[in-house]
Amino acid sequence: MKSSIALLISSVLIPAHADNLSDAQAVQSKTNQASAVSQKRIDASAETALTLEAEIEQLQEEVSNLKIYRDHLSNLVESQNQEVSNLNEQIVQIAQTRQGVVPLMYHMLDGLKTIVANDKPIRKAQREERIAKLDSMMTRADVADAEKFRRILEAYQIEMDYGTKLGVYQGKIALNGNEQIEADVLYLGRVSLIARSLSGEHFWSWSQPQSAWLPVGKEQKTELDKAFAMANKQIAPSMLTLPVSLNIAEGK
């Protein structure tokens, strides 16, 4: 009886246990599948998070670079604004300077005219021609004020050179009022101005007090020929004895 009961219980419990085990295995399988799906989702989320983190870092770096570039542009704009301000000030100063320089140039031209008119007749035609060109240049729009000023200063430099150099040229001189002859003219600064006929036989010395050419005696011919040879670089420089062409004030 007992054995029969035990077998009966076993026959009842074994199928029940088998069913429970099968159910457990099914649950475990579903759990494993769910875990695998969850792990895939976690892996995908982690990969996405890493990708987003890398993008965020890249964006942060770009933002930092853009900020640096923005600051750079701001400094450039500030510098350009300062430069514009400086240029505007310079334009105003240039306009003011030009207003002062133009009258100055006209005064300088008047000074040149006075010098040539009252000076000894050294290359007088050439000097008057130079001044006429400067006068004409002043009203030309295609010549800059700086160039005009440079040429006027150059003319003054030439006038200064006449007072310090020994030179000779050929030109016309007026004798006895209206009579003009071609002659070789020698100047030693503004101290002495001598004319010699082309034949080499006659000499004249410029008299500043009388504003006229006065004849020079033949006794000075040797010394005067020596001066002309020296001016023409035909002989070496040496001491000269020449008539002076100074008025009383210049002599003092």
HEC profile of 188-239: ECCCEEEEEECCCCCEEEEECCCCEEEEECHHHHHHHHHHHHHHCCCCCCCC
Instruction: Give the mean model confidence (pLDDT) for residues 185-204.
Output: 93
Amino acid 164 reads: T
184 shares a domain with 210: yes
Question: Is 65's pLDDT higher than 60?
Answer: yes
Longest dimension (CA), the chain: 188
Verify that 204 and 222 share a domain, yes or no. Answer: yes
3-state secondary structure of 185: strand
Are 193 and 239 contained in the same domain?
A: yes
Q: Are 186 and 200 in contact (CB under 8 A)?
A: no
Residue 206 is part of which domain span? 166-252
Regarding whether 141 and 177 lie in a shared domain, the answer is no
In a domain, 249, yes or no: yes
Pairing of strands 166-175, 212-216: unpaired
For the residues 225-232, what does the mean pLDDT come to? Answer: 93
Q: For residue 252, is pLDDT > 60?
A: no
End residue of a domain, out of 139, 162, 185: 162
pLDDT of residue 117: 92
Q: What is the pLDDT of residue 16?
A: 57
Shared domain for 195 and 241, answered yes or no, is yes
Up-side HSE of residue 83: CA atoms within 13 Å toward CB?
6
32/157: higher pLDDT: 157
Q: How far apart are CA 19 and CA 27, in angstroms?
A: 12
Q: Decide which of 137, 162, 187 is a domain's last residue.
A: 162
Q: What angle separates helix 2-118 from helix 145-162, to the nearest 10 degrees? A: 40
Are residue 171 and residue 250 in the same domain, yes or no?
Answer: yes
pLDDT of residue 6: 58
Q: Are residues 142 and 175 both part of a single domain?
A: no
Q: How far apart are the first and last CA of the chain?
A: 173
Are both 158 and 177 inside the same structural domain?
Answer: no
Q: For residue range 101-144, list pLDDT tens digits in order.
A: 889 999 999 999 999 999 999 999 999 999 999 999 999 999 99
Tell me: do 174 and 151 sit in the same domain. Answer: no
Say yes or no: 155 and 183 in one domain: no
Decide if 242 is inside a domain: yes
**Is the pTM here over 0.85, yes or no?**
no
Position 80 in a domain: no
Query: What pLDDT sits at residue 140?
Result: 93
In a domain, 116, yes or no: yes
Decide if pLDDT at 41 tops 90.
Answer: no
- From 145, 162, 179, give the residue that closes a domain: 162
Domain-embedded: residue 20: no
- 110 and 142 fall within a common domain: yes
Are residue 95 and residue 157 in the same domain, yes or no?
Answer: yes
Q: Beginning with the edge strand found earlier in the chain, give each strand of the sheet holding 212-216 in spatial order.
A: 166-175, 179-188, 192-197, 203-207, 212-216
Q: Supply the pLDDT for residue 19.
A: 67
pLDDT at 85: 83
The more confident residue out of 92 and 4 is: 92
Most confident of 2-11, 23-32, 89-98: 23-32
Average pLDDT of span 53-65: 89
The pLDDT tens digits of the residues spanning 201-223 come to: 999 999 988 889 999 998 999 99
Instruction: Say whether pLDDT at 227 is over 90.
Output: yes
Q: In total, how many domains does the chain have?
A: 2
Q: Round to whole Å and give the CA distance between 63 and 143.
A: 55
pLDDT for 251 beyond 70: no
Task: Tell me the pLDDT of the chain averaged across its residues.
Answer: 85
Give the model's pLDDT for residue 211.
87
